[in-house]
Structure 1
Amino acid sequence: MRHPFINSRILILYYAIFWVAIGAANALIQIFWSNMELTKAFLESMVNFLLYPVLGASIWFIVKYNGVKESDWLWTGLYHLIGATILNAIWLYLSFMLIKMIDESHLSLMYSDLPSRVLAGYVLYMVYVVFFYAVNYYQTLKEKVKREAELKTLVREAELSALKSQINPHFLFNSLNSISSLTISNPTKAQEMVINLSNFMRYSLQHDQEETVSLEKELENIKLYLSIEKIRFGKKLNPVFNIEDACLQAQIPNMILQPLFENAIKYGVYEATGPVGITTSCKNKDGYALIIIDNEYEVDSIKNKGEGIGLRNIRQRLDLIYGNPDLLKIMDKKTSFRVELAIPQKK
């Protein structure tokens, strides 16, 4: 950790202004209260409140490399006592040299005040020690908070990657099962499905490192996914899109819609005997991109099941990214399911 004065020019500016102001105030007190000559008053202030602050900046290194520890506080106190003695000796020596060079007649006053100057030197050292310990504690705490924030970010990214990795194998497993069936019943459709699946997986890999993408890109991927499922279900699957143009550039988490469509197919299309519509709409509302997916289902064929891995995945991702898992709402309207996904948009 570097010296705080090197890290912050503002701090060293405040430091200089503070001690210059203290020195000037002391000189004025000496002039108007003790009737000291102007030259001697400012010379005295320069020695006490300008020279010592310059030397005192070095106390940081003693503080930094001899932190207070319960196990060796006696050694720490001894280090500071030695440091204070050496620093005071240097300060007094330089003070006498400067006084001798500028105004030798002031030396007598310096000698008469020597005990009080020594005491003042130790008091100033203690003030500096407290100040630098406070700065050191603040900087350590700041770095700790920064490291914790970085660690949380890494953990969050790892969790998001883990959640994303759950989607593709699950979908891929279902698709490969369908291709396996089609290779016997309809080889041409099986070939078409393999090509579409390849394109879909290519998109997934290309955008895996991006946390968010535009709704327009995500819809392109969804339509590719639906084209794969269309091969399986034919006329039973009827997707409809009613998307406002203003929504197309909305930023949403990548691959977050695919599990919703997979659910719609699983609970609406898979068990149906007739055509089933899946309607997707989007509108901007109060700083959110509100994506609504309605899918019909046949009451007699639907089975009462809880949330699968896809919906749990979405809620966890919403919680990690936006801190709110309730951005996803699911409503059963007896003949259709409605899913509402509200994605916050930056202004």
Structure 2
Amino acid sequence: MFKQINKYWWCQLLGWSAYFVINILFAFSINRKESPDGYYYLNLLIFIFFGLFSTHMFRSLINRFKWVNYSFESQILLFFGLMTGSGLMLYVGYYFVVIFLLRLSITPVLVGILSSFLITTIWWFLYFIWHYIERNRSSQLDQLKLEATVKELELKTIKAQLNPHFIFNALNSIRALVDENPQRARTAITELSNILRSSMQIEKAETVSLENELNIVKDYLALEHIRFEERLNVMYEIDPDTLELQVPPMMLQTLVENAIKHGISRVISGGSVYITSSLKGMQHVISIENTGQIVENNINGHGFGLQSTRQRLSLLFGSRASFEIRNKDEQTVEATVVMPLL
């Protein structure tokens, strides 16, 4: 039964009960020799009844007109109107019942009116403050939900762009093998199917384990090794403690693909790709070094793959993550991703 009572009625019952108890305690503290008589209790209960009745009636009235949508200035005027209207209803109802129906003694008129206005002022002040806090909290929740939805849509958009981008590059690699070595081309198609199968399984995830991401990278590099043969040398240095850490899906593969496309493929003699993953304090650091150089006017890396990496790191981790690509020395390019552990 109690679960069916909403917050408003709980506040009404508790508030007026507290008012009743405070008045009884006050009466006992003033007149310590004699306890309040039955008329005092009756007067107090009648006052509380009309207080509850008047505030509830005016609340029902303003809710019909959706007062929460009013401007701030209109709500200020409404507050004073409600304070005055409910205060008058409280006192008139109380006065009529006590004087004309029960013919009991009553406090002086001015004191009664001031008491009525004071009580209704406090009631409506608490009521408006409550709704202000509720609206503010609801607005914050809506904002968080909107930001989460926008982030999810942006991540899905980036991933939707990444897959066709990768497939296009992979098909170009296979096309180069079709006439030169059909058997190797068939092997390359098998490797590509493995990569696509893996990417489809993780497409809905915001993050995947580094181990899963490495499996895709190894399939991709096996595909590229068919094309480059001895011109491509791959080395790994992976801390086992980082294998279960979460990373954005296809991020590592995108950076390795960038290293092959813009680094190894432009060097006649080929080169090396060196992939590392380690822990530094409370950060997960992934580094991809490759043979090659970034031209001076493109040192910050504005290609699609690099932009998508920055965007996804920002969406997932905010300012706690970073991405940098630079010329490490005269022969090597280094891309470094730093992500928080928590």
TM-score, normalised to structure 2, is: 0.81
User: In the TM superposition, what whole-angstrom CA distance separates every residue of 1:234-287 from its partner, at most 9, and x where no partner exists?
Assistant: 222221111111111111111111121012112321022224221111111111
After superposition, the Cα gap between the structure-2 partners of 1:16 and 1:244, relative to the gap in structure 1 and judged at 3 Å, is: farther
After superposition, the Cα gap between the structure-2 partners of 1:281 and 1:223, relative to the gap in structure 1 and judged at 3 Å, is: same
Q: How far 1:184 moved relative to its partner? A: 2.0
Counterpart position of 1:310: 305
Counterpart position of 1:213: 208
1:22 and 2:25 matched: no
| 1:282 maps to which of 240, 262, 277 | 277
| 1:43 maps to which of 37, 41, 63 | 41
Q: How far 1:314 moved relative to its partner? A: 0.9
1:341 and 2:337 matched: yes
Counterpart position of 2:237: 242
Partner Cα distance (2:29, 2:166) in 1: 83
Counterpart position of 1:152: 147
1:261 and 2:256 matched: yes
Counterpart position of 2:192: 197
Partner Cα distance (2:163, 2:98) in 1: 76
- Asked whether the equivalents of residues 19 and 53 of structure 1 are also in contact (C-alpha less than 8 Å), the reply is no
1:174 and 2:169 matched: yes
- Asked whether the equivalents of residues 207 and 247 of structure 2 are also in contact (C-alpha less than 8 Å), the reply is yes
RMSD over equivalenced CA pairs, Å: 3.5
Partner Cα distance (1:322, 1:54) in 2: 51
- The answer to which of 137-146 and 44-53 deviates more is 44-53
Provide structure 1 residue ranges, at least 5 long, that are not aligned to the other structure: 101-106
User: In the TM superposition, what whole-angstrom CA distance separates every residue of 1:211-240 from its partner, at most 9, and x where no partner exists?
Assistant: 111111111111112122222222222211
- Asked whether the equivalents of residues 63 and 133 of structure 1 are also in contact (C-alpha less than 8 Å), the reply is no
AA of the residue aligned to 1:43 = Y
Q: How far 1:84 moved relative to its partner? A: 4.5
Question: What SS does the corresponding residue of 2:266 show, helix, strand or coil?
Answer: coil
Q: How far 1:344 moved relative to its partner? A: 0.7
- Asked whether the equivalents of residues 231 and 270 of structure 2 are also in contact (C-alpha less than 8 Å), the reply is yes
- Asked whether the equivalents of residues 234 and 272 of structure 2 are also in contact (C-alpha less than 8 Å), the reply is yes
- Asked whether the equivalents of residues 286 and 336 of structure 2 are also in contact (C-alpha less than 8 Å), the reply is yes
User: In the TM superposition, what whole-angstrom CA distance separates every residue of 1:98-145 from its partner, at most 9, and x where no partner exists?
Assistant: x96xxxxxx5322x5355324422332232222211111111121111
Question: What SS does the corresponding residue of 2:31 show, helix, strand or coil?
Answer: helix
After superposition, the Cα gap between the structure-2 partners of 1:79 and 1:121, relative to the gap in structure 1 and judged at 3 Å, is: closer
Q: How far 1:210 moved relative to its partner? A: 0.9
Question: What SS does the corresponding residue of 2:203 show, helix, strand or coil?
Answer: coil
1:273 and 2:268 matched: yes
- The answer to which of 67-76 and 244-253 deviates more is 67-76
User: In the TM superposition, what whole-angstrom CA distance separates every residue of 1:15-72 from its partner, at most 9, and x where no partner exists?
Assistant: 478535633443234425xx76433696278438854665466254445445254579
- Asked whether the equivalents of residues 62 and 83 of structure 1 are also in contact (C-alpha less than 8 Å), the reply is no
Question: What SS does the corresponding residue of 1:109 show, helix, strand or coil?
Answer: coil
Counterpart position of 1:104: none
Partner Cα distance (1:80, 1:316) in 2: 53
- Asked whether the equivalents of residues 91 and 113 of structure 2 are also in contact (C-alpha less than 8 Å), the reply is yes
TM-score, normalised to structure 1, is: 0.80
Partner Cα distance (1:184, 1:90) in 2: 99
After superposition, the Cα gap between the structure-2 partners of 1:259 and 1:80, relative to the gap in structure 1 and judged at 3 Å, is: same
- Asked whether the equivalents of residues 64 and 136 of structure 1 are also in contact (C-alpha less than 8 Å), the reply is no
Superposition map of 1:76-225 within 5 A: 82-90=85-93, 108-110=104-106, 112-114=107-109, 116-225=111-220
Partner Cα distance (1:14, 1:284) in 2: 56
User: In the TM superposition, what whole-angstrom CA distance separates every residue of 1:141-179 from its partner, at most 9, and x where no partner exists?
Assistant: 211111111111111111122222221111111112222
Give the paired residue count.
329
| 2:288 maps to which of 248, 272, 293 | 293
- Asked whether the equivalents of residues 26 and 45 of structure 1 are also in contact (C-alpha less than 8 Å), the reply is no
After superposition, the Cα gap between the structure-2 partners of 1:74 and 1:341, relative to the gap in structure 1 and judged at 3 Å, is: closer
Provide structure 2 residue ranges, at least 5 long, that are not aligned to the other structure: none
* Identity between Structure 1 and Structure 2 (%): 26
Question: What SS does the corresponding residue of 1:324 show, helix, strand or coil?
Answer: helix
